[in-house]
A and B are shown apart, each in its own frame.
Chain A
Amino acid sequence: MNKKIKVIIVDDEKLARDIIKTYLAKYDTIQIVAECSNGFEALKQINELKPDLIFLDIQMPKISGFEMLELLEDPPIIIFTTAFDNYAIKAFEVNAIDYLLKPFSEERFDDSIQKAMNLLNNKNESNKKLEALSRTLEQKVEFLERVVIKQNQKIIIIPVSEIKFIEAQDDYVMIYTSKGNYLKEKTMKYFEEYLNPQNFIRIHRSYIANISCIKQIELYEKESYKIILDDSTKLPVSKTGFQKIKELIR
């Protein structure tokens, strides 16, 4: 291997970045190309410098590590570093190759680096084992609280409570809020799974509605219904959607 591995460290605490730097010092095949103290900065640097590997903290100001990843088009290899142990499953879902719990030992850190190097040397050998493992783990879905959207250069964070409804648009969904509509590259299935069903209901193949925004249900034609939202938007309701609403009311 003649090219150095480019690494970016993302953490809002300098000391946390320092320890990673210290542990990395002995690897002469690794080059730290940037250090970032928040998600915005990291986003910019990753897109510019195209690192091979990032060390990523989860809890950071404004946007979390996960939210930042969602906005990356071609994410590098990720090693999470965090004091929380409850994100491990989610970490595997976003294809992280490792999850370092702070504080971590140098041995544990070296293991991670080894894994990353193996993966870089043999790109085709993907992380299937871990993926398989994470699937066998009992999945506890943590519902979404916020949705991040990249619009040109701007990053918009929407609390899910502000979402009125979501509409399917090919490979994207359109998210409607009182402040505007936003396009996001995710599937309806994703939102159906990750939005709390106590607040959101899939009323149609193409629509998920915020229950608190539903004002009334109207008979449209024979056996076909529409719901009216509080801003008087009308959305179609499928048969199964109608069943779900009926159960909800009961």
Chain B
Amino acid sequence: MINPFVKNKKLFTIYLITWFSIFLLHTIILNWFLSININSALIDSIIFNGLYLLLGISIWYPVNYNTLDIYSTSKIFINHIAAAFISTGFWIIAGFYLTKNILIEDKIYIVFLNKSLVWRLIIGIMYYSIITAIDYVIIYYNNFQEKLIREAELKALIKEAELKSLKYQINPHFIFNSLNSINALIINNPQKAQEMTVKLSSFLRNTLSKNEHQKNKLEDEINYSKLYLDIEKIRFEDKFDFIEEIDPECKNVMIPSMILQPLFENAIKHGVYESLEKIIIKLKCLKTDEYFKIIVENNYDPEAVPRRGEGIGIKNIQNRLKLIYNQDNLLSVEKSNNIFRVNIYIPI
């Protein structure tokens, strides 16, 4: 992040005005109360305050790299104490030699300068603390603003995802084909027709009602996806198998709603629809130290020539994960040995 004092003209102006006031105050104190002649007082004030004006801008960088999301409070505190002493030390040394060289003739001033070093150290540390505090306020204000924007984005994206998933799941092709299967079953196997009607209805109802919530238990998401898989199973019979390998610890993990079903739909579309061989769809979930890792994989026919529309669903899921968890690397896709695999990482 670029220093806001430099980036933002208004802030920079305020910063300069503040230093100008300090400079005036500094001069007045030296001249009136400490009887330093006006010329020397001005030079002292210009040099010391000018140096800190520059130093103050550079404090932004240690502040920016010492935030709570990276370090613990005590570590930050220690870092800043060290930085305060080092920067103030440099400031005093540089100021001391500059003023001494310029004002070597003014004996009264030189005596005063030598005596003032402790005071200057206190003032320097005070400056450091104030600027650091202001910098932190700016950072947290910016972060807060960013968070607001991100939340708005997230809401928009969820809306979009809802619409898209509605369009996807209430995919007319899928519904009409399912209804066609029911039509056939009514004559040949009424009981199964009934079963499929109920499943299709539950699936549609779930799809329609679910969008309000942002997160659901993995277990519930699986059950919902299974409705979809069961319907496809009735349609395609032995053309695919579904295998679950779920760590018991995973069952209650909360995941963003509607991220599994599109993956299964993908597997069916690009695996089962396009292949003459049997497809195995696997769902795995395991817990690691930092993540719940959810894997959806299927084998596919490497010779099938894709038709269209690959990856929009996956892209959509990736965007949602990024916005919800503020992390970029929560979804990965692997294609190897005729296995198509999507990994999702849910931070703990």
A contact set with B: CB distance below 8 Å: 12-16, 18-19, 22, 38, 40, 59, 61-62, 83-84, 101-104, 145-146, 157-159
Contact = CB atoms under 8 A, between A and B. Distances in A.
A227 B30 CA distance: 83
B335 to A, nearest CB: 17
Contact of B180 (A16, A59, A62, A158): A16
B306 A159 contact: yes
B249 interface: no
Given A14-B237, A15-B185, A157-B305, A61 B275 contact: yes
Nearest to A16: B180
Contact of B276 (A16, A38, A157, A158): A38
A240 B50 CA distance: 72
Interface string B222-245: 000000000000111100000000
The 8 closest A-B pairs by CB, nearest first: A83-B176, A19-B184, A102-B180, A103-B180, A15-B184, A15-B181, A103-B183, A157-B305
Given A13-B236, A62-B274, A159-B305, A18 B180 contact: no
B306 A61 contact: no
Contacts of A84: 173
Contacts of A19: 180, 183-184, 187
A32 to B, nearest CB: 15
B164 to A, nearest CB: 19
Contacts of A22: 184, 187-188
A22 B183 CA distance: 11
Contact of A101 (B176, B185, B187, B305): B176
B177 A16 contact: yes
A103 B276 contact: no
Given A15-B184, A102-B176, 8 more contacts: A13-B181, A22-B188, A59-B173, A61-B275, A62-B274, A102-B177, A103-B182, A104-B180
Task: Point out which of A12, A15, A38, A102 has the most chain B C-beta atoms below 10 A from its C-beta.
Answer: A15
Contacts of B275: 61-62
Contacts of B180: 13, 15-16, 19, 83, 102-104
Contacts of A159: 305-306
B273 interface: yes
Contact of A18 (B184, B273, B304, B308): B184
B177 A83 contact: yes
Contacts of B184: 15-16, 18-19, 22
B314 interface: no
Contacts of B179: 102-103
25 contacts: A13-B177, A13-B235, A15-B185, A15-B234, A16-B177, A16-B181, A18-B188, A19-B183, A19-B184, A22-B188, A61-B275, A61-B276, A61-B301, A62-B274, A62-B304, A83-B173, A83-B176, A83-B177, A102-B176, A103-B179, A103-B180, A104-B180, A146-B305, A158-B305, A159-B306
Given A15-B234, A15-B235, A103-B176, A61 B304 contact: yes
B167 to A, nearest CB: 15
A48 B73 CA distance: 81
A183 B186 CA distance: 47
Contacts of A101: 176
A18 B275 CA distance: 21
A61 B182 CA distance: 22
A15 B305 CA distance: 26
Task: Point out which of B180, B305, B306, B307 has the most chain A C-beta atoms below 10 A from its C-beta.
Answer: B180
A14 B234 CA distance: 10
Contact of A59 (B183, B235, B236, B273): B273
A61 B177 contact: no
A22 B273 CA distance: 25
Interface string B144-185: 000000000000000000000000000011001101111111
Contacts of B176: 83, 101-103
A215 to B, nearest CB: 26
Contacts of B304: 61-62
